[in-house]
Amino acid sequence: MIIRAETSDDVARVRHVVLSAFGQADEADLVAALQASGDVEIALVAMHGDQLVGHILFSKLAAPAGCLGLAPVSVLPEFQNQGIGGALIRDGLDIATRKGWQAVFLLGEPAYYERFGFTVAAAHKFGTIYPKPYVMGLELTSGALDALDGALTYAQPFLDLES
């Protein structure tokens, strides 16, 4: 399995992976909307031979400054629980760190994301429209979160989902 940057040739196969992983269209439509709006900062795919089996997307938050949102991450059902999601998350976080992003936030299951260093505590002081027990953060630059506050605000395509 290799992980590489998503290209424009991958769009249809990425949609298939996201649809299959979530079993509904909302997240695949979100990925398409983020691709169209130009809000994608990091997008990676996992390849098993010629087969595209996983995908992850990081988008720039409208606030706080210098922070990314991780969502969604998707692995084809028949390839789940083989470490592919974890590898996509770790590679994405490495790239985000190298590029100098301050922190990453997500809405997810703490039991899964804690293993990558995300904590609910890191996100706690930020306002959010999402349920707090599932809003998690990970500081990439030491001390970065101390200087930030306000409301976590995702890119517009996420906000369109809520309306």
Taking CB atoms, the residue at the shortest distance from ligand COA is 85
Confirm or reject binding of residue 85 to ligand COA (CB under 6 A). yes
Q: How many residues contact ligand COA, by CB under 6 A?
A: 18
Helix (H, G, I), strand (E, B) or coil at 61: coil
Give the per-residue contact string, 104-123, with ligand COA (x = CB under 6 A; - = no): ----xx-xx-----------
* Residues numbered 52-71 forming contacts with ligand COA, rule: CB under 6 A: 71
Q: How far is the CB of 88 from ligand COA (least distance, A)?
A: 7
Query: In this complex, which beta carbon is closest to ligand COA, that of residue 44 or of residue 71?
Result: 71
Q: How far is the CB of 11 from ligand COA (least distance, A)?
A: 18
Confirm or reject binding of residue 135 to ligand COA (CB under 6 A). no
Contact residues for 96 (Cβ-Cβ < 8 A; gap 6+): 41, 42, 58, 68, 104, 140
The upper half-sphere exposure of residue 129, i.e. CA atoms within 13 Å in the direction of its Cβ, equals: 8
Contact residues for 140 (Cβ-Cβ < 8 A; gap 6+): 93, 96, 97, 101, 102, 103, 104
